[in-house]
Amino acid sequence: MSSSSSRRRAPHTAQRPATQRTTAHRRTAAVALAGVAALIAAAVQSGAASAAPAKPQAGKMNAAHVAARLTPSQRVELIRHADATRAATARSLGLGAQEKLVVKDVVKDGDGTLHTRYERTYAGLPVLGGDLVVDTRSGKTMDVIKATGATLKVAGLTPAVSKAAAEKQAVQRAKARGGSKPAADSVRKVIWAASGKPVLAYETVVGGLQDDGTPNQLHVITDATTGKKLYEYQGIETGIGNTQYSGQVNLTTTQSGSSYTLTDGARGGHKTYNLDHGTDGTGTLFSQSNDTWGDGTTSNAATAGSDAHYGAQETWDFYKDTFGRSGIRNDGVGAYSRVHYGDSYVNAFWDDGCFCMTYGDGSGNQDPLTSLDVAGHEMSHGVTSNTAGLNYSDESGGLNEATSDIMGTGVEFYANNASDPGDYLIGEKININGDGTPLRYMDKPSKDGNSADSWYSGVGNLDVHYSSGVANHFFYLLSEGSGAKTINGVSYDSPTADGLPVTGIGRDKALQIWYRALTTKFTSTTDYAAARTGTLAAAGELYGTSSNEYNAVQDAWAGVAVGSRSGGGTGGGSTYESNTQVAIPDNGPAVTSDITVSGRSGKAPSNLQVSVDITHTWRGDLVIDLVGPSGKAYRLKNFSSSDSAHDVKQTYTVNASAEQANGTWKLRVQDQATYDTGTINDWKLTFP
For 462-476, b/e burial (b = at least 16 CB within 10 A) is bebbbbbbbbbbbbb
SS3 of 2-59: the string is CCCCCCCCCECCCCCCCCCCCCCECCCECCCCHHHHHHHCCCCCCCCCCCCCCCCCCC
Coil, helix or strand for 673?
A: strand
Nearest-angstrom CA–CA distance, 213 and 677? 42
How many CB atoms sit inside 10 A of residue 115's CB? 23
Distance CA 296, CA 246 (A): 9
Nearest to 44 by CA among 569, 511, 454: 569
**Can you spell out the DSSP letters for 575-603?**
EEEE---EEE-TT---EEEEEEE-S--SB
User: Residue 124: CB partners within 8 Å, gap ≥ 6?
Assistant: none
Angle of the 469-480 helix axis to the 528-543 helix axis, nearest 10: 30
Q: Which of 99, 237, 378, 577 is catalytic?
A: 378
Q: Are 550 and 540 in contact (CB under 8 A)?
A: yes
Residue type, 196: G
- 570, 569, 508, 509: which is closest to 539 by C-alpha? 509
The answer to whether residues 204 and 239 touch, using CB atoms and an 8 Å cutoff, is no
Distance CA 434, CA 59 (A): 44
Annotation marks residue 465 as catalytic: yes
Enumerate residues 6+ apart whose C-beta is below 8 A from 473: 442, 443, 444, 445, 453, 454, 494, 559, 560
Cα angle for residues 132, 137, 138 (degrees, 5° grid)? 135
What is the per-residue DSSP string for 113-140? -EEEEEEEEETTEEEEEEEEEEEEETTE
Q: Alpha-carbon distance 490 to 132, whole Å?
A: 41
Q: 147: number of CA atoms within 13 Å, CB side?
A: 29
Residue 304 and residue 297: Cα distance in Å, rounded?
A: 9
Find out whether 193 and 150 touch, Cβ atoms under 8 Å.
yes
Q: Are 147 and 524 in contact (CB under 8 A)?
A: yes
What is the residue type of 463? D
Residue 401 and residue 391 in contact, taking contact as beta carbons nearer than 8 Å: no
Q: Write down the catalytic residue from 309, 465, 616, 646.
A: 465
Q: Which residues are the active-site residues? A: 378, 465
